[in-house]
Amino acid sequence: MRYDAAIIGAGAEGLAAAALLAASGVKTIVVERSERAGGRATTREFHPGFRASPFVDELPPIPADIHWALDLSRRGAIFRPAPVSSAIWPNRQNVLRRGDASSVHRFLGAATERASDIRAHAAREIDNAPRHSFFPLFKAQPAPASWPGEGWMASSLGEVLAREIGDPDTAAHLAAAALNGRTADPLVTGSALHLSTLDSSGAVTGGLGRLADALIAAAREAGAELFLGRDATDIRHAKGRVTGVGLADGSAIEARAVISTLDLKRTFLSFFQWNALPKEIVHAVGNFRMAGATARVLLALDTALSSAVDRRGAIHVSPDLGDLAEANSAWRTGTIAPRLPMTLRVVSAADPMLAPSGQAVVTVTLGAVPYRLFDGAWTREKRDVLRRQALAALEMAMPGAGAHVIAADVIAPPDIEEALGATDGDLAGGELAADQMSSAWPDFPYPRCPLKGLYLAGSWLAMSATCAAGAAAARTVTADLTSGKLK
């Protein structure tokens, strides 16, 4: 089997890359370990009649040009940002509504702008590549004098929020939103970088699985092949350039370009023999910091919930900067903090298709949950700790709801690693720190890497836009194929 491009992983990035490559005439195949394509963008029935997206509820938006190029609206993937976000404490709450013309939203707008500057800065090199197909992914911008994230790098999340927001409740609310499902010490310099994730993420009506379906349709229609249930085991290479992908059944796919949508560590440390790789790659990848911090609890309830808070958006439970800092330091030592940062979403309130009528689905996203526990493996008892904390949060947000829980599914960091192939269950694909925000190899800006023919397209490369990393890789591969670099 000979292809122009082989893509490892059929998540949103892999599917978008496949669709865009195939549409520009590149012979493309996608290899996916699981029987179902979608990656993070899946929706699963976790209890008869109750469905939820197990790993994330929302994804960052797809840039308009990609959305248009893949014709996703017609295929039924409609992004729906949550209209509201709340934070609740035992005796008070703080609510932010989308579109309020307040200083908070001015701040959010500025933060989003800065995040896109950081993205554009990282993409500038890519943009310099000759353009042969589709559309300008990133607007060409004059080179900024310094790295646009410099200001955030030198301040802490708590400090920026205190300065820009003032109201401590709103500040704690935004800190919890920025750290949602991750962990960082919000009082340590540099944690302000997490503001770059405060973006207008959205859910997809019918669950994120709809997005996967739309992307699969787009890829298939464009002529890309999907190889499901096939486990890629190694990336073949000779004389410093990639020649194809080896599969678990012993067969191989020959390809001039290989796009990996897995994270940096997984790509290099599990698809290659270390001693066969150039030393600078092993060194850079070995030092890249990844660690999962997310756990999820999916709850099925036999009643439609009523509550004092607006249930159409995220509900952050008792956020407090000090607690976030302490949860982070517990996380670093491999312990489960007594008060984990938690975010509730009544996903069935915004999307009734997810639960039987008159019943409800609530997801709880827990942050600062260590992948490795200091006292051993993730046993049933330890999962129960997460379940109990999640139920306590539910009871606090919606008094009386605890009695109606008929099923609870706990997804711990190792489960996320198992299901998505994310190293250490790290959904973000690496610690968000200033030194990790540019390419690990100064001479090879992402999506390229020092190994000719290998491209990176994991969602971690463009964390505030879905499909952007896949599209960037597709564009670079098309350019390299047509310019003869991969002869």
**What is the rounded distance in angstroms from the CA atom of residue 182 to the CA atom of residue 191?**
12
| First-last CA distance in the chain | 17
Work out which of 325, 369, 386, 393 binds other proteins, going by CB under 8 A.
Answer: 325
Q: Based on the shown chain and the rule CB under 8 A, indicate whether residue 167 belongs to the binding site for other proteins.
A: no
> Where are the strands (E) in 342-394, listed by range?
342-345, 360-366
Residue closer to other proteins by CB (options 46, 152) is: 152
**Residue 373 is encoded by which pair of tokens?**
């526990």
- Least gap, CB of 434 to other proteins (angstroms): 4
Give the interface segment with other proteins, choosing from 120-128, 152-160, 257-265, 468-476 (CB under 8 A).
152-160
Q: Identify the DSSP state of 206.
A: T
| 432: Cα separation from own chain's centroid | 12
Q: Based on the shown chain and the rule CB under 8 A, indicate whether residue 158 belongs to the binding site for other proteins.
A: yes
Q: Based on the shown chain and the rule CB under 8 A, indicate whether residue 434 belongs to the binding site for other proteins.
A: yes
**What is the rounded distance in angstroms from the CA atom of residue 347 to the CA atom of residue 51?**
9
Q: Based on the shown chain and the rule CB under 8 A, indicate whether residue 65 belongs to the binding site for other proteins.
A: no
Work out which of 93, 189, 303, 318 binds other proteins, going by CB under 8 A.
Answer: 189
**Residue 168 is encoded by which pair of tokens?**
């401590």
* Residues from 255 through 314 that contact other proteins (CB under 8 A): 286-287, 289
Q: Based on the shown chain and the rule CB under 8 A, indicate whether residue 187 belongs to the binding site for other proteins.
A: yes
Work out which of 78, 84, 129, 153 binds other proteins, going by CB under 8 A.
Answer: 153
Q: Based on the shown chain and the rule CB under 8 A, indicate whether residue 435 belongs to the binding site for other proteins.
A: yes
Residue closer to other proteins by CB (options 184, 397) is: 184
Distances (CA, A) of 443 to 136, 280, 446, 447, 450: 23, 11, 10, 12, 8
**What is the rounded distance in angstroms from the CA atom of residue 153 to the CA atom of residue 191?**
7
**Contact present, 258 and 9 (Cβ < 8 Å):** no
- Least gap, CB of 341 to other proteins (angstroms): 14
- Side chain identity at residue 254, one-letter code: E
**Residue 347 is encoded by which pair of tokens?**
């996903």
Instruction: Look at the chain and count its residues.
Output: 487
Work out which of 328, 343, 365, 459 binds other proteins, going by CB under 8 A.
Answer: 328
Q: Based on the shown chain and the rule CB under 8 A, indicate whether residue 159 belongs to the binding site for other proteins.
A: yes
Distances (CA, A) of 380 to 55, 377, 385, 387, 401: 19, 9, 9, 10, 24
- Least gap, CB of 97 to other proteins (angstroms): 28
Work out which of 188, 228, 269, 407 binds other proteins, going by CB under 8 A.
Answer: 188
* Residues from 329 through 368 that contact other proteins (CB under 8 A): 329, 332-333
Interface residues with other proteins (CB under 8 A)?
153-154, 156, 158-159, 162-163, 185, 187-190, 286-287, 289, 321-323, 325-326, 328-329, 332-333, 431, 433-435
